[in-house]
Every structure is written in C-alpha cells, then in structure tokens.
Amino acid sequence: MAFTASFFFPLLLLLSAISGIASETAIRLPSENLVAGGNRKVRADDGIFCDSWRLAVETNNVGKWKQIPARCAAFVQAYMTGERYLSDMEVIGKLSSEFARSVRLVGDERDAWVFDIDETLLSNLPYYEDTGFGTEIFNETSFDQWVKLAKAPALLPSFSLYNELQELGFTIFLLTGRSEQQRSATEANLLSAGYRNWNRLILRGPSDQGKTAAQYKSEKRSELVDEGYRIHGNSGDQWSDLWGFAVASRSFKLPNPMYYIA
C-alpha cells in the first residue's frame, strides 16, 4: 500500500503532499492560516450549486421545502428530462432487484414489497413539465385534474422491478398519499400503464386526513405487519414513504428534485 511506504518518508514530504491536496479541496491544514482557507470560494455556478442542492434534497438535508430554488429551474428540467434521472432510477432499480433476489422467501404469500405510486410507479412528469418542474407552489386543484385524466406513464425501472418481484413471488402493496376519492382513476391509470396483480391498493381514507405522510404510511405498514406480512422492501421517492415505524428491511429512495412531502 502506497501509504505504508510514504509513512516512512520525511515529514516534510508528507506535509507537502497533504498541502498539495489541501489547495484544491475542502480541507484546512492545521498549519494553514484560517482566513486564507476561509477565503477560498466555490465557483458561483448554478450547475454546481444546483447539483449540491439536489444531493441535499435527496439526503433529506434540506428539511421541509416548498419550491425548488429559482436558479435551479433549468437544472431540474434538464435532470428530469435527460439521461441522469433515468440512470439514477436504473441504478436504484438494479440495487433493489439484487436485494430482492437475495431474500429467501418463505413462500406463504406473506413476503411483501411496498411501492409508493407518484414518482415511483407512475411519473407525473407531463404535469410538472406544464407547471415549471417544481418552481411553482403545488396546486392541489390542478394536480387533481391531472390525476383524473389517468394518463401518468409508468417509470420504466420501477415497472421492470415490479414485474420481477412478482416473478420472484413477492406480494405487492401499493401505498399512496392519494385519497380514496381517487381510487378508480388511480386503478385505471395503473392498469393502462401496465401494472397488474397488486395485492392491495391503500389510499388515504377519511380517518387518515391531516396526518403526515410518514405517520399515515407507517401506520399502514404496521397494519400489514400485524397481518403477518414481512415487509422486505419499500420503494418511494420521498423519505416520508420510507421512514417512521414498521420500516422495511431495505428502503429504496428514488430521486425526486421537484417536490417534497412531509
């Protein structure tokens, strides 16, 4: 190992090597002047800022947010309509598939996988394309009109995973923040997008209104566990699809830089 060798080098050489790295990176040498270090700036470039903002969103570092930053509108549009979103989805799909294939199913139809719907099984990109890719505040009325159309296309990597899970013998639950009033439109959309044979489509009923998504979805997962289901996997584009209680053995966070749901 290179380090083992350099460990015996004179200290000056080592410090020189460290210093060479420090000049390009986020680190501060113990011997460096703080102000000098503090003066280094990241290029005030929308691309690099928006990429960091997107990472912060996907890791839940941003906390609650209502709109994407105005300067990131073009970035989010390019991301969502280009190959990066597809690549991110595909890598996560493959990781989900690898995990699924590693699970030893009991075979009693109690081996379960939970999917969210919006931006997980179905894509609302046509709607968000018409409303600024998350630059506008969410408008429930116009979104409900879009849902009624039942025209959201399938997200391909999720569609492939969904079918593979069924072949493997998983029981599939769909757990969505959509309301019971949207059941028939949602079923029609899922069917026309090609999804088949889910065990149960769980929507928000009257008693679920006003709960956070994380609370509502945790409660519903907990009911599945009480029924004897082993929730091996859970796929969703929001951390509130995945966190809380009765969490799956493995949770898969799909990308979504367009909106946030608590």
- Restricted to residues 226-245, the positions that interact with its own copies (CB under 8 A) are none
The secondary structure of residue 59, as a DSSP letter, is T
Shortest distance, CB of residue 249 to its own copies, whole angstroms? Answer: 10
Shortest distance, CB of residue 28 to its own copies, whole angstroms? Answer: 4
Shortest distance, CB of residue 36 to its own copies, whole angstroms? Answer: 11
Taking CA 31 as the corner, what is the angle to CA 27 and CA 32, rounded to the nearest 5 degrees?
55
How remote is the C-alpha of 205 from its chain's centroid?
24
Angstrom distance (rounded) from CA 211 to CA 209: 6
Task: Please report whether residue 48 would count as binding its own copies according to CB under 8 A.
Answer: yes
Considering only residues 122 through 151, tell me which ones interact with its own copies, judged by CB under 8 A: 123, 125-127, 129-132, 136, 139, 142, 145-146, 149, 151
Pick one of 85, 162, 229, 260: the residue that binds its own copies (CB under 8 A): 85
Helix 156-168, helix 83-102: angle, nearest 10: 10
Considering only residues 11 through 30, tell me which ones interact with its own copies, judged by CB under 8 A: 14-15, 17-18, 21-22, 24-30
Cα separation values, 147 from 127, 172, 182, Å:
9, 22, 8
Residue whose entry in the numeric block shows the structure tokens 């493997």 = 168
Pick one of 53, 75, 259, 260: the residue that binds its own copies (CB under 8 A): 53
Task: Please report whether residue 74 would count as binding its own copies according to CB under 8 A.
Answer: no
